[in-house]
C-alpha cells in the first residue's frame, strides 16, 4: 500500500485464470408432488394443497389397521355371496342373481353395490388372486363377474350402470 497525495493506493494482483461462477444451490423439491419449490429459503412445499395432503394419514391397508379390517370384511362378504351362489342348484342361480341385483338397485346396501361393481372382483388375476374365487378355483366366477355376466345377458348393459340404477328396467314383454 502506497500513499501519494494523501490517498491510499491499493495494489491488487489480477489473475486472469480465475473463473468466478456463482455456486448454484441444489434445487428444492416438494416432498408431496416432487415439483420444484420456489420462494422463501425455508419453504418446504410448493403450495398449501401439497402441505395439507402431506400431513393427512394414508388410507391404505399397508399403513392402516382400520382399512385392513374394512378390506377383509369387504372381500369376506364377497366370498360368502359367491359361495351362496354356487351352493344353490344351477337352475335357481339366475333367480338368486336377479334378487341380489334388485336388492342392490334399491340403494339401501352401498357395500353390496360396491361389491358387485368392484374392479378387483370384476378383473381378478387368475394366478395371484385365487383367494377371490369361490373354492379357490378359477373354474368359478367371483360374485362381481357373475353379476356382470347376468347384466350383460339380460340388461344388455354394464353391471355398474345396472347396480347404481342408471339404466331402465329391461323390457320383459308383458303388456300392461
Q: Assess if residue 59 is contained within a domain.
A: no
β-sheet bridge partners, residue 8: 3
Q: Assess if residue 172 is contained within a domain.
A: no
Q: Assess if residue 145 is contained within a domain.
A: yes
* Whole-prediction pTM: 0.66
Residue found under cell 416438494:
30
- The residue range of the domain holding 159 is 65-163
Q: Assess if residue 10 is contained within a domain.
A: no
pLDDT in tens, the chain (176 residues): 455 566 666 666 655 555 656 666 778 899 989 999 998 889 999 999 988 888 777 777 777 888 899 999 999 999 999 999 999 999 999 999 999 999 999 999 999 999 999 999 999 998 888 888 888 887 889 999 999 999 999 999 999 999 999 998 887 766 65
How far is 120 from 154, CA to CA, in rounded Å?
23
Give the total number of structural domains in the chain. 1
Amino acid at each position: 500500500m502506497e500513499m501519494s497525495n494523501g490517498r491510499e493506493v491499493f495494489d491488487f494482483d489480477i489473475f486472469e485464470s480465475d473463473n468466478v461462477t456463482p455456486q448454484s444451490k441444489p434445487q428444492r423439491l416438494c416432498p408431496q408432488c416432487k415439483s420444484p419449490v420456489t420462494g422463501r429459503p425455508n419453504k418446504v412445499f410448493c403450495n398449501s394443497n401439497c402441505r395439507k395432503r402431506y400431513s393427512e394419514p394414508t388410507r391404505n391397508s399397508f399403513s392402516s389397521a382400520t382399512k385392513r379390517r374394512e378390506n377383509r370384511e369387504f372381500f369376506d362378504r364377497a366370498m360368502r355371496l359367491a359361495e351362496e351362489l354356487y351352493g344353490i342348484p344351477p337352475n335357481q342361480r339366475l333367480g338368486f342373481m336377479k334378487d341380489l341385483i334388485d336388492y342392490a338397485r334399491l340403494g339401501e346396501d352401498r357395500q353390496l353395490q360396491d361389491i358387485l361393481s368392484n374392479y378387483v372382483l370384476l378383473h381378478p388375476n387368475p394366478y395371484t388372486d385365487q383367494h377371490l374365487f369361490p373354492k379357490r378355483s378359477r373354474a368359478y366366477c367371483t360374485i362381481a363377474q357373475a353379476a356382470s355376466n347376468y347384466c350383460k345377458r339380460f340388461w344388455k348393459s354394464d353391471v355398474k350402470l345396472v347396480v347404481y340404477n342408471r339404466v331402465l328396467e329391461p323390457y320383459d314383454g308383458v303388456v300392461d
